[in-house]
Homo-oligomer: A and B are copies of this chain.
């Protein structure tokens, strides 16, 4: 049985929120909210002692985070059992204060730590890719030309159990109201990220309309 969403992820030295405590949380629901709000994460790993940060799409299933890529990728080939830090962040606005020091940004971020695992079983890999596709675009998997065995083989799917995690959120106006009397404009420039009108690919046959789940996603103002 899953722990309640209000439960915290375990915390050690590596994930404990040190600064900006009011902004930090280890609660599962808070971590999940950030992971689920953005399609793009940055996966950090270590090869021969050196850091690498790779942007990639991710998806979550319970307390597991998944990502995928080419089976030819040097990282994905070496990934099994590797410690990973996967970070998602969303910039929500510039925060302009009366002093440079109090400038900030509004953001939501999650940093999750775990150990990379490779999905080896073909059926489990297929199921993971279906879940990925349909979690982004509901119902899409069954509408597509089926995956071939070669395509499945050329794709690596990785996952990790969330061992530790931290979410941080900042929003609201600048934190220097005591300096409000200064003759300086202060406030927030909000960042808006959304999907624009769909651009149909060349050659799509007449009568094939934009599927309603995609239209709904565009209307939602969210990316997923």
Give me the interface of A with B, judged by CB distance under 8 Å: 14, 18-19, 39-40, 42-46, 49-55, 57, 70, 72-74, 83-87, 89, 91, 94, 96-101, 103, 105, 107, 109, 111, 113, 129-130, 133, 136-137, 140-141, 143-148, 151, 154-155, 173-174, 177, 179-205, 208-211, 214, 217-218, 223
**Please, which residue of chain B has its CB at the minimum distance from the CB of A203?**
B180
Q: Decide: A55 and B87 in contact? CB cutoff 8 A.
A: yes
Tally of this chain's copies? 2
Alpha-carbon distance A183/B208, docked complex (angstroms): 7
Alpha-carbon distance A94/B107, docked complex (angstroms): 22
Q: Decide: A173 and B201 in contact? CB cutoff 8 A.
A: yes
Q: Decide: A87 and B50 in contact? CB cutoff 8 A.
A: no
Say what secondary structure dominates the interface of chain A. mixed
If the complex has contacts A18-B74, A83-B50, are A57 and B183 also in contact, measured as CB distance less than 8 A?
A: no
Q: Decide: A180 and B201 in contact? CB cutoff 8 A.
A: yes
Name the distance in Å between A50's Cβ and chain B's nearest Cβ. 5
Alpha-carbon distance A194/B185, docked complex (angstroms): 20
If the complex has contacts A43-B53, A70-B19, A192-B195, are A133 and B103 also in contact, measured as CB distance less than 8 A?
A: yes
- Residues on the B chain within 8 Å of A109, using CB: 55
Q: Decide: A46 and B50 in contact? CB cutoff 8 A.
A: yes
Closest 10 CB pairs of A and B: A180-B203, A44-B53, A55-B89, A44-B51, A42-B42, A101-B151, A53-B87, A186-B201, A173-B201, A44-B44
